[in-house]
Structure 1
Amino acid sequence: MKIDLNADCGESYGAWTLGDDSALLEVATSANVACGFHAGDPTILRETCSLAVEHGVAIGAQVGYADLRGFGRRSVDVPGADLTADVIYQIGALQAIARSVGGTVRYVKPHGALYNRIVTDEAQAAAVVEGVLAAAPDLPVLGLPGSAFLRRAEAAGLRTVREAFADRAYLPDGALVPRSREGSVLHDPDEIAARVLRMVADGTVEAIDGTEVEVAPDSVCVHGDNPSAVAVARRLRTVLDGAGVAVAPFTR
């Protein structure tokens, strides 16, 4: 068994610090680095990419809505052409920053509200796929299994990677529980580690109503802004290693 452990990083901005990227990148195998639209300034992104290179962690471009105030968690009705251009811009910016510290962008993952919207919004999903094709058609894309985004990306010839979430609750249809609902974010490292081991070994996760949901992930995400992120990631590595699961970037 093999799994990638990805984590959201580079989400601080100026004097505002969010998460412990240094500690997280000692454990994660892939880093979803903010591209400046929902979080992250150029200096933060360069420092984050440098840490990823130092630890041998794969760098991914985490593209999102232009929504710094809302941390990219507010859905924005962006015209398709504008969203495509935004995706191209963000990927290109992170590619340049990663190269400046001896790294390279290895994949693309949408963030927050954009990630959730393109699960079902065909037009927005198509715009994101078009942006990836224009900027970096050789890069794989990370997304929710069964989403419009992964379906359209695969049809366009992009490599698709199925993702599950370690610290988020699921709805019975396989979507994530909205953050506005109680219990949407999990914090207990032991509970989360047990859930992830089940995802990897059995390809299922228990939804918020107790039903089973099929996930079969290639990569599992830990949110860097979760106060328990580092503890969760460390516990995950311990449990997965103990179960004989190889933890490595999906890009290899």
Structure 2
Amino acid sequence: MRTVDLNADLGESFGRWTLGDDEAMLDVVTSANVACGFHAGDPRGLLRVCEQAAERGVVVGAQVGYRDLAGFGRRFIDLDPADLLADVVYQIGALQGVCAAAGTSVRYVKPHGALYNAVVSHEAQARAVVEAVRRVDPSLPLLGLPGSVLLTLAEAAGIPTVAEAFADRAYTAVGTLVPRSEAGAVLHDPETVAARAVRLVATGRVDAADGTAVHVDAASLCVHGDSPGAVSMATAVRAGLEAAGVTLAPFVALAGQ
């Protein structure tokens, strides 16, 4: 069996509003997609989660998104590409500073929410994200959906890419994620999700919402930190993978970055 990275979106609480259990999730995952303050996260909380990640040896990535706290970054925004480029540069830079203070560093970049889905096919926004990473640090890998425009453009620009799959999200027959607005888009049963994760890693296939088998070859597997029962879900996924002989390790370590 292969080695795979297990990642989750963390650092998404804001002030007195708490979302998820970052500390518990950091005991399970190997990479943390940490919010950068635009779609979620406040400075104190981001510093805390980066410190906790550093203590546990969990790799930190910048989870960049639209400037949309009210919508949690899950609403598409038709930004001018120049504005999006600057926004992504700003977010990576902010988290780099937080990480430096926490004794760690930003090791990769992953778009969040609506931006993640947009750059699967929206060339102008994908190009803006790629250019932002290129200007900040072209050695930072971009984490995204297999076959996306984002990863295609990043490869052309010489930026490392990492294909990602989702353990707790439903897929369409063409390999994209079922929109959250549709019923069944997010899966909640730990045993079902763990079994899907093991099959995905072992065979590179996952059942789409219509029952067809979709090929998904990914080096990193995402479990959402903001879902109800997220810690139980992530724990079940990790346990299932390890029981199947899969090794869990950060993808940046495997790539020597």
TM-score between the two structures when normalised by the length of structure 2: 0.97
Tell me the amino acid that sits aligned with residue 53 of structure 1.
A
- Cα separation, 2, equivalents of 1:215 and 1:229: 23
- Cα separation, 2, equivalents of 1:141 and 1:196: 22
> Does 1:251 pair with 2:252?
yes
Q: How far 1:216 sits from its partner (Å)?
A: 1.0
Q: What residue number does 1:15 align with? A: 16
Q: What residue number does 2:199 align with? A: 198
Q: What residue number does 2:215 align with? A: 214
Q: How far 1:248 sits from its partner (Å)?
A: 0.5
Q: What residue number does 1:112 align with? A: 113
1:217 alignment partner, SS class: coil
TM-score between the two structures when normalised by the length of structure 1: 0.99
Tell me the amino acid that sits aligned with residue 219 of structure 1.
S
Equivalences for 1:23-172 in 2 at 5 Å? 23-172=24-173
- Cα separation, 1, equivalents of 2:46 and 2:68: 17
| Structure 2: tracts of 5 or more residues without a match | none
Identical pairs, percent: 62
1:5 alignment partner, SS class: strand
1:8 alignment partner, SS class: strand
- Cα separation, 1, equivalents of 2:249 and 2:127: 30
Q: What residue number does 1:239 align with? A: 240
- Cα separation, 1, equivalents of 2:230 and 2:135: 33
- Cα separation, 2, equivalents of 1:220 and 1:228: 17
Tell me the amino acid that sits aligned with residue 251 of structure 1.
V
Q: How far 1:64 sits from its partner (Å)?
A: 0.1
Superposed CA offset, 1:101-132 (max 9, x none): 11011100000000000100011100010011
Q: How far 1:33 sits from its partner (Å)?
A: 0.1
CA RMSD of aligned residues (A): 0.5
